[in-house]
Chain A
């Protein structure tokens, strides 16, 4: 086969692979053509062919990069999550006969962490399901690389005596193993101190701009899922404080210390950026003009963009 026909054949193959979504195979063929043309001087329209092939290589590489960057377990629509729950509520020993727990575990396994945590949190109220629900909540946070938060959550549960003594050993053993398998240097040995620790912040105080307002989704309570904006009344580095008027009772009940806010938008006079924060305190103001209003403090733990 002469060179011209060989190039035509390779090009046709590359285009067909491309149209069938076989991008790696298409890329290989385009590169083969590039190599063939570069190694031969006497080809008509050599520069034009090289230019076209370079463009094809660039476009195909970009498509591949885009696919590689796809999150392996994106959040899916609510009806799709319902299907996952229904279809995958197996007769799983872990589920201990509870379809609600089994469904929530199925969601977690499919990477639908937010929804799974929401449902598992509800199951914490049931004595028979609490231990398994708690284990799976911790698993969900660790899978998302929020191990610090999982530790603080666990400590909060211990502090509030969520588990009866006979279950404490079980969850501690599970959590220790989970953290070990996740790697890192997280310590849960000091749990007996009954202290709720805040997750570490990835940022230094001087990296944070002055913030004038924040917007975030309420994680629980009567206004769960609603977006709210609050003005900052005080800022000290990565700690920001806001005032919630006493009349906003639903709002006050929808956020509590220990909540992790995964998508906060920060407004500063010079930029708008987003990140994550941890509700470090919520206190009723007991004196002065704002008496009976609430002071809410958030620790900024990560800046995303």
Chain B
């Protein structure tokens, strides 16, 4: 849940990068950390990984400066993607204001995307939140791997399978090179701040 101090004109909100294991959530944060130096408000923390797999979460604080008269700070988190870390994902999701779902474009990861999206839906329900109402953006990551000869799903297919009912903004990305990462983040922040505005009327 965002912390909004209207007296001091400060907002602090939480954006969570969700998705299946190895889909590129940590890579997204690493790119943001590298490319948005001005906005980075502290060091990126990755708590314990094993074989490049996130076991707990990654954390990156951003300061967006003044928006509509408010000092806006954002905490970016990733969840551990592997199925067995469901309890940790629930913990990281607590207090979430907006979500980026990082889907893997590789054809072999099709089912993992769907399982993870279902897991997100269930975890939000447990917190009394709806996947249809929370600010959500889809990112179809690893588009660059097609050039390396790996079978990648078409955007039409991914949109049909993941976004047919949600109808949320979606972006293609190659998080390793940073392509699409900024657009995804911008849209997610925009939706999150709009949602907070609807709820708390923070903007002047």
- A residues in contact (CB < 8 Å) with B: 9, 12-13, 16-17, 20-22, 25, 28, 63, 66-67, 70, 72-74, 76, 80, 83-84, 87-88, 90-91, 106, 109-110
Contact A83 B87 (CB under 8 A): no
Q: Determine if A76 and B109 form an interchain contact, defined as CB atoms under 8 angstroms apart.
A: no
Other-chain residue from B47, B51, B88 in contact with A83 (beta carbon distance below 8 A): B47
- Residue ID in chain A nearest B108 by CB atoms: A25
Partner of B50, one of A13, A22, A70: A70
Query: Taking chain A's interface residues, is the majority helix, strand, or loop, or is none over half, making it mixed?
Result: helix
Residues of B within 8 Å of A72, CB to CB, are 55, 84-85
The interface residues of chain A lying within 8 Å CB-to-CB of B100 are none
Contacts of A88 in B (CB 8 A): 91, 94
Report the count of interface residues on B (CB-CB < 8 A).
Answer: 28
**20 A-B interface contacts by CB (under 8 A):** A9-B149, A13-B150, A16-B148, A17-B150, A21-B52, A21-B53, A22-B108, A25-B106, A28-B108, A66-B51, A70-B55, A72-B55, A72-B84, A74-B48, A76-B47, A80-B47, A80-B48, A84-B47, A90-B95, A110-B91
B91 close to A109 (CB less than 8 A) = yes
- Produce 1/0 per residue, B45-64, CB < 8 A to A: 10110111101100100000
Q: Are B91 and A21 in contact (CB-based, < 8 A)?
A: no
Asked whether any CB of chain A lies closer than 8 Å to the CB of B145, the reply is yes
Considering the chains assembled together, what is the distance between the CA atoms of A12 and B88 in angstroms? 35
Q: Which residue of A lies closest to B85 (CB)?
A: A72
Alpha-carbon distance between A83 and B51 when the two chains are bound, in angstroms: 22
**Does B9 belong to the interface (CB within 8 Å)?**
no
Query: Would A76 and B53 count as touching, CB distance under 8 A?
Result: no
Partner of A21, one of B47, B51, B94: B51
Kindly state the separation between the CA atoms of A106 and B90 in the bound complex, as whole angstroms: 12
- Taking CB atoms and an 8 Å cut-off, the chain B residues in 31-84 that contact chain A are 45, 47-48, 50-53, 55-56, 59, 75, 84
Distance from A78 Cβ to chain B, minimum over Cβ atoms (Å)? 12
In the complex, A80 Cα to B57 Cα: how many Å?
11
Bound complex: CA of A76 vs CA of B94, how far in Å? 21
Q: Which residues from A are CB-within-8-Å of B51?
A: 21, 63, 66-67, 70
CB proximity of A28 to chain B, nearest CB, Å: 8
Query: A16 touches which one: B56, B75, B149 (CB < 8 A)?
Result: B149
Closest to A28 in B: B108
Q: CB-CB < 8 A to B50: which residues of A? A: 67, 70
Contacts of A12 in B (CB 8 A): 149
Indicate whether A80 sits within 8 Å of B94 (C-beta atoms), given known contacts A13-B149, A16-B145: no
Complex alpha-carbon distance, A76 and B54, angstroms = 13
Smallest beta-carbon distance B20→chain A, Å:
11
Chain B, Cβ-Cβ closest to A66:
B51
Complex contacts, A91 vs chain B, CB 8 Å:
1
Q: How far is the CB of A11 from chain B (nearest CB, A)?
A: 11
Cα–Cα distance between A66 and B56 once the two chains are bound (Å): 18
A84 CA / B46 CA spacing, docked (Å)? 11
A84 and B58 CA atoms in complex are apart in Å by: 11
With beta carbons under 8 angstroms apart, the residue of B56, B109, B145 that contacts A84 is B56
A7 to chain B, nearest CB (A): 14
Q: Are B53 and A67 in touch, CB under 8 angstroms?
A: yes
Residues of A within 8 A of B85 (CB): 72
Known pairs A16-B149, A72-B55. 15 more at Cβ < 8 A?
Answer: A13-B149, A13-B150, A20-B145, A21-B51, A22-B109, A25-B106, A25-B108, A25-B109, A63-B51, A66-B51, A67-B50, A72-B85, A73-B88, A83-B45, A84-B47
Give the nearest-CB partner of A76 in chain B. Answer: B48
Which has the most chain B C-beta neighbours within 10 Å: A74, A80, A110? A110
Q: Which residues of B contact A67 (CB under 8 A)?
A: 50-51, 53
